[in-house]
């Protein structure tokens, strides 16, 4: 199998470099890590297979890993999120890239097989499709997606493949849940650092990154005004919190949260939002956004209850939260009316509008989280990779050590020109007297 990059259009590389330049200007923490990596080359000899959204921010991470001495292979973590100009620019710089926007399911898993064919020492994942596929290979699972991956993975000896992997990282909530499930089953074959569990990741990326970029996607696709609307947010995890917060900031008339967890529901209520089941919210909402990680959070019954003109979008990792298959079957007709906006006419004559095919709206209909927030997420990724290279860990799911998490926060503050208060000697002594129990 020829190990050659495959991108939509190599001539887009110049445009991609401009985008990367812009992202680098807004990712000062990662750039600081890159300068240290250039001096120390801590990743020399590593082969990193990264399954991430192919965006300008990911490009800055990939360049940083390469500056640390690694050879990088990059494949997408969603069939519809690739920015083709970034894929072209990175391929030109010597990264092995197999990615284009709008891949079929088969092409998507061919890309994952391509990444495995390099026999990486480290894997980076966003959603765990690469890691899970490698584990399926190891455990002899042969389903449709694995068959697709095998078309490009070549004669991979699964045991050898896994033996060579020192460890991996996982970027997102859904991926961490999948990998913890593998661990519980006793099947996790190598250590994973759950980057999503760093404070400097989830408190910022999940909340403020998704909060802004989800609305960016909905607004680009619809150009609708949010002020005066009734917004329904399903799920009040960090992502849902961010989306609800920004809905309020954009002037939504009512923000309704749908939750299954009583503590989160209570929190939403005390944060000033209404809380009710989807059945009731369906009747009153103008814009519906799912952020639960679960399936069929908006089902056909909900959709049939919605008002004419309701807009539906998903911010969760997989396109399972809105039952688009049932909608396709039930609709009298469907047509695309703008990029990333489909109109469905229901048998009653009412119309509903689906943004970005129900796939993660911020990356499909916009550009994903802004660079400033990915700066921290990907600083965690870079430090996690370095940590895996420097430490032998047994297979488990780990959090990045708190010192490194704090280091990212310190660097971010310093690049923003913000100073911390420091404890006086007297305060230090006072606090350490507690630690001694005196
Ligand atoms: N996930 C969310 N936003 C992203 C971005 N801009 N780049 C890579 N992954 C992302």
Q: Is there an atom of ligand 1 within 6 Å of 55 CB?
A: yes
User: How does DSSP classify residue 195?
Assistant: G
Contact assessment for residue 124 and residue 171, using Cβ atoms and an 8 Å cutoff: yes
Residue 65: inside a domain: yes
Spacing, Cα 378 to ligand 1 middle (Å): 9
Residue 438: inside a domain: no
235/193 same-domain check: no
In the predicted structure, residue 438 carries a pLDDT above the cut 60: no
> Which CATH number is 218's domain given?
3.40.50.720
Q: Is there an atom of ligand 1 within 6 Å of 374 CB?
A: yes
Contacts 24+ apart (CB under 8 A), 270-276: 271/241, 271/244, 271/245, 272/248, 273/233, 273/244, 273/248
Which of 50, 53, 86, 316, when mutated, tests ligand 1's pocket best, judged by the most ligand atoms within 8 Å of its CB? Answer: 53
DSSP H helices in 169-209: 173-184, 199-201
DSSP H helices in 41-172: 56-67, 84-92, 105-116, 129-138, 144-153, 158-164
Residue 141: inside a domain: yes
Q: Is there an atom of ligand 1 within 6 Å of 342 CB?
A: no
- Angle, CA of 26, 201 and 289, to the nearest 5°: 95
Q: What is the pLDDT of residue 3?
A: 83
> Which CATH number is 387's domain given?
3.40.50.1480
pLDDT tens digits, residue range 391-425? 999 999 999 999 999 999 999 999 999 999 999 99
Quick count: other Cβ atoms within 10 Å of Cβ 96? 21
Interatomic CA distance for residues 338 and 120, integer angstroms? 40
Residue 58: inside a domain: yes
314/262 same-domain check: yes
Interatomic CA distance for residues 321 and 339, integer angstroms? 21
Interatomic CA distance for residues 148 and 156, integer angstroms? 13
Residue 1: inside a domain: no
pLDDT tens digits, residue range 3-54? 899 999 999 999 999 999 999 999 999 999 999 999 999 999 999 999 999 9
135/117 same-domain check: yes
In the predicted structure, residue 86 carries a pLDDT above the cut 80: yes
Spacing, Cα 81 to ligand 1 middle (Å): 9
pLDDT tens digits, residue range 274-291? 999 999 999 999 999 999
Spacing, Cα 53 to ligand 1 middle (Å): 6
160/216 same-domain check: no
Residue 330: inside a domain: yes
Contact assessment for residue 46 and residue 118, using Cβ atoms and an 8 Å cutoff: no
Query: Domain range for residue 353?
Result: 210-364
Alpha carbon nearest to ligand 1 atom 10, residue: 368
In the predicted structure, residue 1 carries a pLDDT above the cut 70: no
65/151 same-domain check: yes
pLDDT tens digits, residue range 104-116? 999 999 999 999 9
Spacing, Cα 134 to ligand 1 middle (Å): 23
Number of domains in the chain: 2
195/101 same-domain check: yes
Last residue of a domain, one of 329, 364, 399: 364
Spacing, Cα 377 to ligand 1 middle (Å): 9
235/290 same-domain check: yes
> Residue 434's pLDDT band (boundaries 50, 70, 90)?
confident
Last residue of a domain, one of 324, 341, 364: 364
> Residue 150's pLDDT band (boundaries 50, 70, 90)?
very high
pLDDT tens digits, residue range 250-279? 999 999 999 999 999 999 999 999 999 999
Q: What is the pLDDT of residue 433?
A: 87
Which of 377, 378, 382, when mutated, tests ligand 1's pocket best, judged by the most ligand atoms within 8 Å of its CB? Answer: 377
Residue 233: inside a domain: yes
40/163 same-domain check: yes
68/28 same-domain check: yes
Q: What does each C-alpha distance from 191 to 288, 365, 384, 395 come to in angstroms?
A: 37, 34, 11, 4
In the predicted structure, residue 2 carries a pLDDT above the cut 80: no
43/154 same-domain check: yes
Spacing, Cα 438 to ligand 1 middle (Å): 48
CA torsion angle for 226, 232, 235, 238 (degrees, to 10)?
Answer: 20
16/85 same-domain check: yes
pTM over 0.85: yes
Spacing, Cα 79 to ligand 1 middle (Å): 14
Last residue of a domain, one of 300, 330, 364: 364
Residue 432: inside a domain: no
Q: What value does the CA radius of gyration of the chain take, rounded to a whole number of Å?
A: 22
Q: Which of 355, 332, 328, 330 is nearest to 345 (CA)?
A: 332
pLDDT tens digits, residue range 310-365? 999 999 999 999 999 999 999 999 999 999 999 999 999 999 999 999 999 999 99
337/387 same-domain check: no
């Amino acid at each position: 199998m020829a190990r050659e990059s495959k991108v939509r259009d190599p001539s887009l590389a110049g445009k991609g470099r401009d985008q990367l330049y812009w992202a680098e200007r807004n990712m000062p923490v990662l750039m600081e890590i890159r300068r240290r990596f250039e001096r120390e080359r801590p990743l020399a000899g590593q082969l990193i297979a990264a399954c991430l959204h192919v965006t300008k921010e990911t490009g800055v991470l990939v360049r940083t890993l390469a500056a640390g001495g690694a050879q990088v292979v990059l494949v997408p973590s969603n069939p519809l999120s690739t920015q083709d100009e970034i894929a072209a620019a990175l391929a030109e710089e010597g990264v092995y890239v197999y990615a284009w926007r709008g891949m079929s399911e088969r092409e998507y898993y061919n890309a994952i097989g391509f990444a495995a064919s390099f026999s990486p020492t480290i894997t980076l994942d966003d959603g765990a499709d690469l890691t899970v596929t490698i584990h399926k290979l190891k455990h002899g699972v042969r389903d449709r997606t694995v068959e697709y991956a095998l078309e490009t993975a070549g004669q991979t000896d699964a045991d050898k493949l896994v033996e060579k992997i020192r460890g991996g990282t996982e970027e997102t909530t859904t991926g961490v849940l999948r990998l913890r499930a593998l661990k519980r089953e006793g099947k996790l074959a190598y250590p994973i650092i759950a980057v999503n569990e760093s404070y400097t990741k989830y408190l910022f990326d999940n909340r403020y990154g998704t909060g802004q970029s989800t609305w960016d996607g909905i607004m680009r696709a619809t150009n609708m005004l949010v002020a005066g609307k009734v917004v329904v947010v399903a799920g009040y995890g960090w992502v849902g919190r961010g989306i609800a917060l920004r809905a309020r900031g954009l002037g939504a008339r009512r923000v309704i949260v749908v939750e299954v967890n009583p503590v989160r529901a209570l929190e939403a209520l005390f944060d000033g939002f209404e809380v009710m089941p989807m059945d009731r919210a369906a009747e009153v909402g103008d814009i519906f956004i799912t952020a639960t990680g679960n399936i069929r959070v908006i089902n056909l019954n909900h959709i049939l209850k919605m008002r004419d003109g309701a807009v539906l979008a998903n911010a969760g990792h997989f396109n399972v939260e809105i039952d688009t298959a049932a909608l396709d079957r039930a609709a009298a007709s469907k047509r695309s009316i703008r990029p990333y906006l489909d109109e469905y006419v229901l048998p009653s004559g009412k119309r509903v509008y689906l943004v970005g095919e129900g796939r993660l709206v911020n990356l499909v209909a916009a550009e994903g989280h802004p660079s400033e927030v990915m700066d921290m997420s990907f600083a965690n990724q870079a430090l996690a990779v370095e940590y895996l290279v420097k430490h032998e860990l047994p297979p488990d799911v780990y959090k990045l050590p708190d010192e490194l998490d704090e280091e990212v926060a310190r660097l971010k503050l310093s690049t923003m020109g913000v100073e911390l208060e420091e404890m006086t000697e007297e305060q230090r002594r006072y606090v350490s007297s507690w630690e001694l129990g005196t």
